[in-house]
Amino acid sequence: MKRRHIRCTFIVVILVLLNSNYAMSKRVKDEGPPGTSPLYAMGDKPQNKSETFLDSLNRGREISPTDKDFSPIIVESTATPASASAVPQAAPGATEVPNGFRVQVIASSQIEKVRAEQKSLESRVSFPLYIIVTPPYYKLLAGDFVKRNEADAAAAKLKDLGYADAWVVRSKIWTSR
């Protein structure tokens, strides 16, 4: 019984080795530098020697960048008002206060949305508007308030104008006081 088991195992091993040798002799020989695969789907052959299998899958469906993809990104700093009427530097006699308050009107990952809200809000409020960049968000902040109750009053005014999510945040501000 034991001899029969050994004989069957031996025959199976011989058949596996012969089959794998046959399969290895029929395989496609490697061409090109190491790491490139000569295998292609359904007989699809590469158009050039450096094309890989993945390249052949996307042939004819390539994406080309347009001029819009290369438009410059403008980043506004926290100390510079973003409104067109505001001066890029602090007004003469203005001092920077590290513990002031501003009202955050909106935050979005799309600068165009924030700029549109800024333009619509400029004519309706009397305090300066700033666009602050905190990647990946652009935030529209309003005012330069030294006292919290002044910022709370501005937030209430903005909520009355339809900005329900307006809230007071601590920020460095410019003041002439």
pLDDT in tens, 12-38: 778 776 666 555 555 555 555 554 555
Segment 81-107 shows an average pLDDT of 66
Cα 79 from Cα 96, distance rounded (Å): 9
Question: Contact 107/138 with Cβ under 8 angstroms?
Answer: yes
- pLDDT in the model for residue 170: 93
- pLDDT in the model for residue 85: 36
Q: Which two tokens stand for residue 133?
A: 């960049």
Q: Which residue has the higher pLDDT, 115 or 72?
A: 115
Q: Which of 140, 138, 132, 144 is nearest to 166 (CA)?
A: 140
Q: Which domains does the chain have, with CATH numbers?
A: 95-175 (3.30.70.1070)
β 167-175/95-108 pair status: antiparallel
Q: Which residue has the higher pLDDT, 103 or 134?
A: 103
Q: Which residue in the block uniquely carries the two structure tokens 């091993």?
A: 13
pLDDT in tens, 25-81: 555 555 555 545 555 444 555 556 666 776 667 676 666 666 655 545 445 444 344
- pLDDT in the model for residue 15: 74
- pLDDT in the model for residue 172: 86
pLDDT exceeds 70 at position 6: yes
Q: Which two tokens stand for residue 47?
A: 């158009």
Report the DSSP beta bridge partners of residue 173. 97
60 φψ region: left (φ > 0), alpha (ψ -120 to 50), beta (else)? left
pLDDT in tens, 127-175: 899 999 988 999 999 999 989 999 999 999 999 999 999 999 998 887 7
